[in-house]
Amino acid sequence: MSRPILTDNARRRAAKPAVSVLIPFLRDDPGELLGLLDEEAAALGGAVEVVLLDDGTSDATLTERLQAQVRRMALPTRLISLSRNEGRSKGRNRLAAAARGGSLLFLDSDMRPDHRRFLQTWADLVAREDPAVAFGGFSLLQASTEARFSVHRAMATHGECVAYGERARTPEKYVYTSNLLVRRDVFEAEAFDATFTGWGWEDVEWAMRVSRRFRVIHVDNPATHMGLDTVEQLAGKYEQSAGNFARVVARHPDIVGTYPSYKVARMLKRVPALDRVRPWMKRFALAGWAPTGARAFSLRLYRAALYAETV
């Protein structure tokens, strides 16, 4: 593991938080998110702390700016700066080890709360129910409407920005570390699997494991996912994720077998010369002249065709 540099503010020393907000980032600037969270500090009375992990950005200017912001914050805050990237799972495990709250709120650095009682809502839930696992949901209310992100917006709106009542029907499926509350004892019993590399599925696989032992609930406390991707960026992430998908299938075939993505991948596996057809799916998804819905469908097919190689 990298040797960390720790930056604490004065308020952290005496605080006894019930909730620790854990924010990993790599080459992103979480400064705006920190500012929005800090607006709630007075109402929280030290019940919520923030722990950030710079997972190897190696940007001295950004580090200095964030260190100065951390020292000014009213919320008890720690910044952990690593010189080398450790990866998503190891990073989240490191954040959890540094946290002091009984509940851990995993929040991605490109999220923005959709209302001004975001942290208060989480703190109230912990005080009232102390849930094992709770997902607050996410939206695209504040995200970019630029045309280059239209395919990702369409896909996320259809498959991820789901109302909490619908999410609750298949609770393990709609769990992302973008806005996820986990009680400490649950996380200590089931940490993120550090063997997952690249992008994707480590949070879903974790939720599958946890759902076999603990209750997963869904609540209406969303934040906006600001980090929309272009089709090229999304396709690159899907190309990284095939190996992780295969791990999830091997470990949880009973759950994954019910997912449409798995069923389509199995169907495509029977298509002759799929390796020659697959690039055309990506090309159509990249075609700016095509309707957004058709491009999104083609990109989903491309993802399933990648997964077909592993199932």
One domain, residues 297 and 149: no
Pairing of the two strands 179-183 and 133-135: antiparallel
The C-alpha atoms of residue 75 and residue 29 are separated, in whole angstroms, by 18
One domain, residues 212 and 295: no
The C-alpha atoms of residue 205 and residue 142 are separated, in whole angstroms, by 28
One domain, residues 291 and 164: no
The C-alpha atoms of residue 214 and residue 186 are separated, in whole angstroms, by 8
Closest listed residue to residue 116, CA positions, set 31, 37, 23: 37
One domain, residues 95 and 241: no
One domain, residues 77 and 147: yes
Read off φ and ψ for residue 306, nearest 5 degrees.
Answer: -65, -45
One domain, residues 82 and 210: yes
Provide the residue-wise pLDDT of the chain in tens; the chain has 311 residues: 458 899 999 999 999 999 999 999 988 899 999 999 999 999 999 999 999 999 888 889 999 999 999 999 999 999 999 988 887 778 888 999 999 999 999 999 999 999 999 999 999 999 999 999 999 999 999 999 999 999 999 999 988 888 888 998 888 888 888 899 999 999 999 888 777 777 778 888 888 899 899 999 999 999 999 989 999 999 999 998 888 888 888 889 998 888 888 899 999 999 988 999 999 999 999 999 999 999 999 999 999 999 998 88
One domain, residues 35 and 158: yes
Which residue stretches of 73-218 are H helix?
88-98, 118-128, 150-159, 164-167, 184-189, 202-211
Radius of gyration of the chain (CA): 20
Distances (CA, A) of 296 to 92, 131, 143, 263: 31, 36, 18, 18
Q: What is the DSSP secondary structure assignment for residue 201, as one 8-state letter?
A: S
Domain end call among 196, 228, 260? 228
One domain, residues 15 and 87: yes
Domain end call among 228, 245, 261? 228
Domain CATH number, residue 84: 3.90.550.10
One domain, residues 182 and 219: yes
Domain end call among 228, 247, 267? 228
One domain, residues 20 and 150: yes
Number of domains in the chain: 2
Full domain range(s) for residue 296: 229-311
One domain, residues 164 and 179: yes
Does the pTM exceed 0.95? no
One domain, residues 134 and 217: yes
